[in-house]
Amino acid sequence: MEVVICRDYDEMSRKAAAVVAGIVRGKPDAVLGLATGSTPLGLYKELIRLHKEESLDFAKVTTFNLDEYVGLGPTHEQSYRFFMDSNLFRHVNVPVAATHVPSGTAPDLQEACRWYERRIEDAGGIDVQVLGIGSDGHIAFNEPGTSLGSRTHVTVLAEPTILDNARFFARKEDVPTMAVTMGVGTILEAGKLLLLANKASKAEAVAAAVEGPVTSMCTASALQLHPDAVVFVDEAAAGKLKMADYYRWIQQKKAELR
């Protein structure tokens, strides 16, 4: 696992976006795994800038999002489909039909989960997956205790997740209590993983994911098992890392080789 400690959120977003952009330029029909929430907004803003100012082309790209709330349709302002349309898809030239977000309103959610897995497989797998991390160490909506071999499934949200997401809703009671999410096993099959975290509130979760034991109680720790996982953090989110100086030293030596 590579850990990149950045000065601030903007630098973190630019560096992560540069990795995604490099993959798209090297493979124009790349399959991107995307995340929602406030953390990747800077990354998406930079990808939009690269598209408009530096001709980054999404015309052949396919995307798959990590998750969606059960019960929220695509036009609901707090749905993750609405989020992606508003913050990325409408601003670049990715074909709408090539963008995929799990359905939270399908008549048969279990079949919708199986269909999502088949669609990822049919697309050739995900080349790079963008991830955030919850305050309890979860990735996507794989709450503590989720099998590290899990596939796309319906999950019940934990209380810390509901509290974290309540800021986006008028009332805590409005936050859905269930979601459809890619499983940890699904995520680990992506060619490259990029986990982004900022703010001191994520420092303990980042430390558990990077330096703690691999355990289903911190599903982000499963990234330690992946051969090409990169963790981008700002200084605040890196605050609990015991080996922070070593991670900086590695990045310094890599820069000298360029």
> What are the contacts of 104-113 at 24+ separation with CB within 8 A?
104/68, 104/69, 104/70, 104/71, 104/72, 104/73, 104/79, 104/176, 104/179, 104/180, 105/70, 105/71, 105/72, 105/73, 109/70, 109/154, 109/180, 110/154, 112/180, 113/151, 113/152, 113/153, 113/154, 113/180
CA neighbor of 138 nearest in space, from 39, 216, 203, 249: 216
**Active-site pick, 46, 143, 164, 234:** 143
Catalytic one of 136, 153, 164, 226 = 136
Active site residue 67: yes
Q: Which of 138, 153, 164, 226 is catalytic?
A: 138
67, 68, 164, 234: the active-site residue: 67
As given in the structure block, the two tokens for residue 29 are 């029909």
Q: Is 136 among the residues known to form the active site?
A: yes
- Residue 174: count other Cβ atoms within 10 Å of its Cβ: 11
Residue 138 falls in the annotated catalytic set: yes
- The catalytic residues are 67, 136, 138, 143
